Structure 1
Amino acid sequence: MRTLMPRIGAVGAATGLVTLILGTFLAWTRSGSVYRDSYQSLGLLKQLGFMGAFPALDFFLQGWLAVIPAVAIAIALYALGLRRSAAGLAAVLAILMGTIAGVAAVQGGGTNGLVGIASAGPVVTFIGALLALLGAVTVLVSQRTRMKQQTGGEP
């Protein structure tokens, strides 16, 4: 069972990361009857000129676009057997994306206004982030326990 836990954690984390990415392609904002995914929403902000006025938003946009390659790297690291490195990257991605998605999910959901936050994308992204974080923590804890047992003490 001890050698199985890192694999279970890696599969859980990879599944969570894929779910997290899928959530970014679901509806994040709505305007009237039009729903936009997170990338379309950020592209709209860029077209409206908000990125030039607020450098932090431009940095956020670039970071948001970098999530897909970062997830691909994390999954590749899991596949190559570098579970601790992959779990560290997965945990960072899950915390960042989960925080953003959680805030959006809490703020969204109301259908009273003409413009608002849709709930599908943020909720799926948040669930993926939770699963990825749980899997990453499982990998890190089980790998640490294995190292302790192999060395007879603290790593």
Structure 2
Amino acid sequence: MTAFAWWCLALCLFPIPFLFRMGVHPLLVDRRLRRIGVKTDGVCRGVSRSEDRYSTSFQFHDAEGYPTIYISSLRAGPLAHEGDGVTIVYDPKSPDSRARCESELCERSEAWHSLWVLAAIELLFLVITAAVLIQQGVLA
């Protein structure tokens, strides 16, 4: 294979970690929380804004009474306002890293958009790589 074919192959493999981290992983966490998540009361600590996107910070106590802070991912609008009471759903095995506001679980995740965009980019890279490898005679 030529150097150009290796570059195409590397380009084809490059998006895979992003596809998992930004598309598949958040959807798997949401699914797990819907299945085994524990509901508890939480309080909105505040809302931060970045380029017309909002991230909401919540504090809640897990089943053992430990205070935990959950910060939502960036989204189109805030989930709550400072001081509002909300229901938090968390994974009892990992409340620090797997928690969501109940209203987040009830709506369609923005991870679906990331998943489809990244899958389309990956498909484009696969087609280009296959075409290059066929032209070079590596694939028949």
Question: If you compute each CA radius of gyration, which structure gives the higher value, 1 or 2?
Answer: 2
TM tier relative to shorter chain: 0.3 to 0.5
Judging by fraction of residues, say which structure has more helix. 1
| Larger relative contact order (CA 8 Å, sep ≥ 6) | 1
More strand by share: 2
Give the TM-score normalised by the residue count of structure 2: 0.37
